[in-house]
A and B are shown apart, each in its own frame.
Chain A
């Protein structure tokens, strides 16, 4: 167990809808990363938060947004969903803000857009 909790495990929704993915980082970790993994694809970086502030942004679509709350849990909001958004979304946490420490991944949320 990595100590990182992601909910829900599975989401099935229709095109045009909006969903929220939730992540609770490992105790003591201030940094939260969101990655997208499509079928047979690698891990695409979406966004990073550190201690409540956005720290880095990857190729995140404008339809996607995220935030980190005072209790350090994070939410990833995906709106106007398209078929191509179907993927496995991972949250990872770390003790450091600059990537110089291991990432601890949650079990992921599998999103299916129909």
Chain B
């Protein structure tokens, strides 16, 4: 099956800084790469996704980049705010694979 590694496990930044979280995957047949945000005690919610035919996608302060050759994709958050503090999960799916999640990154934004 698919193997997804996510780094770092914890990321602490100052408000206004940028944050980058990276995920690597093992199967080149995977073609859908979503990111979910989970606030404490709440359900994961999709924040952005990208498909294998696109290299980059941006939505306001959030962007995702995909390197198919190297089999990794990254979440970029610019101008971080305290409300960005949460656990972020990457996922990989498509083809014959069910969605496989990374272990999560706890982002802490200090005011």
Q: Closest A-chain residue to B30, C-beta based?
A: A99
Total number of A residues with any Cβ neighbor in B under 8 Å: 23
B101 touches A42 (CB 8 A): yes
Q: Closest B-chain residue to A44, C-beta based?
A: B101
Q: Closest A-chain residue to B101, C-beta based?
A: A43
* Residue of B32, B44, B89, B98 with highest tally of chain A CB at under 10 A: B98
B98 touches A99 (CB 8 A): yes
* A58 in contact with B98 given A101-B32, A102-B34 (CB within 8 Å): yes
Q: Closest B-chain residue to A106, C-beta based?
A: B43
A74 within 8 A of B: no
B46 touches A99 (CB 8 A): no
| Sample of 10 further A-B pairs with CB below 8 A, known A43-B89, A101-B32 | A33-B98, A42-B101, A42-B102, A90-B44, A98-B93, A99-B98, A102-B46, A103-B36, A103-B44, A104-B46
Q: Which residues of B contact A (CB under 8 A)?
A: 31-32, 34, 36, 42-46, 49, 89, 91, 93-104
